[in-house]
């Protein structure tokens, strides 16, 4: 009976220490550059769209889209015909065309299949709008007497909070501890374990001796 109690006791001690070690020594994590790219996080440097130039005789159209969150200096942009990139609610469209002053260029913006806005310009113009959706599909058409070009941006999530708050909620960062902290916690756990072992050992010994004495006393009756 005594040996069985000792075994159970040590199993409990090992289980407790395993739980303590898992809770006290969490593993820190740092994102690699590839992970940052895949998750579309980090500092979000502006991504410039490529200008399509089939040949030098054709009209060059250029579209640039940026987004901001109210009160925040950070800007999120989207590459040409990009899909799945996070954007803030306040969008600014910038359009460029070299069709010339005598050839106005018309721009048309569609959001989720519906006409959002259209207008005409010479050389360059911009248009701003607050996106109230959570997800958008955007199509842009630039057209002049010299040609037409279409841009499509599919499945663009709109963040109605800052990027930092979004990833704080989605990915809880695990703290990174120093070697001295690990050693300190390890010493505390070891000391506590030794005290528990000593206290339990003397309790079991005392119980064992008491029961043995009772058995001897009963045999003498």
| Per-residue pLDDT tens digits for 105-154 | 999 999 999 999 999 999 999 999 999 999 999 999 999 888 899 999 99
Please check the confidence at residue 1 and state whether its pLDDT lies above 60: no
Are residues 162 and 57 located together in one domain of the fold? yes
Are residues 207 and 121 located together in one domain of the fold? no
Spatial separation of the C-alpha atoms in residues 149 and 88, rounded to whole Å:
25
Mean per-residue pLDDT, 20-49: 43
- Predicted confidence at residue 51, as pLDDT, reads 35
Are residues 7 and 57 located together in one domain of the fold? no
Q: What average pLDDT does the chain have?
A: 74
Are residues 110 and 182 located together in one domain of the fold? no
Query: Over the range 89-105, which residues count as b (16 or more CB within 10 Å of their CB) and which as e?
Result: bbbebebbbbbeeeebb
First vs last Cα of the chain: how many Å apart?
24
Spatial separation of the C-alpha atoms in residues 11 and 7, rounded to whole Å:
6
Query: Over the range 113-130, which residues count as b (16 or more CB within 10 Å of their CB) and which as e?
Result: eeebeeeebeeeeebeee
Spatial separation of the C-alpha atoms in residues 133 and 160, rounded to whole Å:
9
Are residues 133 and 209 located together in one domain of the fold? no
- Predicted confidence at residue 172, as pLDDT, reads 56
Please check the confidence at residue 37 and state whether its pLDDT lies above 60: no
3-state secondary structure of 134: coil
Residues 6+ apart with CB under 8 A from 186: none
- Predicted confidence at residue 59, as pLDDT, reads 65
Cα radius of gyration (the chain): 34
| Per-residue pLDDT tens digits for 55-92 | 445 668 999 999 999 888 889 999 888 899 999 999 99
Looking at the structure of the chain, the number of domains it has is 2
| Per-residue pLDDT tens digits for 142-192 | 998 888 999 999 999 999 988 888 777 666 555 666 667 777 777 777 777
Domain assignment of residue 218, yes or no: no
Q: Please give the residue range of the domain that contains residue 193.
A: 2-29+178-213
Are residues 126 and 159 located together in one domain of the fold? yes
């Amino acid at each position: 009976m005594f040996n069985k109690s000792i075994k159970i006791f040590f199993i409990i001690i090992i289980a407790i220490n395993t739980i303590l070690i898992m809770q006290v020594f969490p593993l820190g994590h740092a994102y690699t550059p590839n992970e940052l790219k895949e998750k579309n996080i980090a500092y979000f440097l502006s991504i410039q769209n490529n200008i399509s130039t089939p040949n030098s005789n054709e009209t060059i159209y250029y579209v640039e889209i940026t987004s901001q969150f109210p009160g925040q200096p950070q800007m999120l942009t989207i590459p040409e015909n990009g899909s799945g990139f996070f954007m803030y609610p306040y969008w600014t469209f910038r359009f460029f065309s070299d069709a010339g002053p005598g050839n106005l260029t018309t721009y048309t913006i569609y959001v989720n299949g519906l006409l959002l806005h259209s207008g005409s310009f010479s050389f360059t113009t911009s248009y701003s709008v607050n996106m109230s959706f959570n997800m958008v599909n955007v199509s842009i058409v630039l057209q002049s007497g010299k040609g037409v070009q279409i841009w499509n941006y599919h499945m663009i999530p709109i963040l109605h909070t800052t990027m930092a708050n979004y990833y704080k909620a989605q990915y809880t960062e695990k703290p990174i501890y120093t070697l001295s902290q690990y050693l300190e916690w390890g010493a505390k756990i070891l000391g506590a374990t030794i005290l528990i072992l000593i206290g339990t050992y003397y309790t079991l010994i005392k119980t064992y001796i008491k029961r043995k004495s009772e058995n001897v006393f009963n045999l003498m009756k």
